[in-house]
Amino acid sequence: MTRGFYIGRFQPFHNGHRSMVEQIAADVDELVLGIGSADDSHTVRNPFTAGERIMMITKSLVDYDLVTYAVPIEDLERNSVWVSHVQSMSPDFDVAYSNNPLVIQLFREADIDIRQSPMFNREVLEGSEVRERMINDGDWESLVPDAVVEVVDEIDGLERIQMVSDSDSNGE
């Protein structure tokens, strides 16, 4: 039995994340999705709360033949103890997945098997692209699973991200 750990901010969970999960599912029996920056919300970079991201992830992956756990992971001021913090919050895992260079470095230094995907640029670009389109009334829906569209609708997420984007640009 192999359990993996995939860390991301999932702001919001989008099709690039879902493809990563599909790739990872070929390697593991169970997958922990670590919801990074769990303590942040209501900003342009992190519009959604940890609870809202749990809903997006759980509903998007409901039809997959994979046991998944979504675990909120708050940020710490100290990078040097972040991996221990992750381990203290997560079910045990055998292998970690991330495309974030700092995350890769920290797991490597802790001697944890860390794998990255060739979708690096795509995944990073896609999160900010989805948020941009949400702010500008563009077509964000085609970049995310249907379940995410439903969650954003339920929580009035568009109104929120447009509001925080307005207050950001006013310097408030």
- By CB under 6 A, is residue 82 in contact with ligand NMN? yes
- By CB under 6 A, is residue 37 in contact with ligand NMN? yes
- By CB under 6 A, is residue 36 in contact with ligand NMN? yes
Tell the smallest beta-carbon distance from residue 81 to ligand NMN (Å).
Answer: 8
Scanning the structure block, which residue is given the tokens 């708050």? 74
- By CB under 6 A, is residue 56 in contact with ligand NMN? no
- By CB under 6 A, is residue 76 in contact with ligand NMN? yes
Enter the DSSP assignment of 101. Answer: H
164 touches 156 (CB < 8 A): no
- By CB under 6 A, is residue 9 in contact with ligand NMN? yes
What is the residue type of 148? V
**Residues contacting 156, CB < 8 A, separation 6+:** none
Return the residue of 39, 45, 102, 154 that touches ligand NMN, per CB under 6 A.
102
Tell the smallest beta-carbon distance from residue 17 to ligand NMN (Å).
Answer: 9
69 touches 62 (CB < 8 A): no
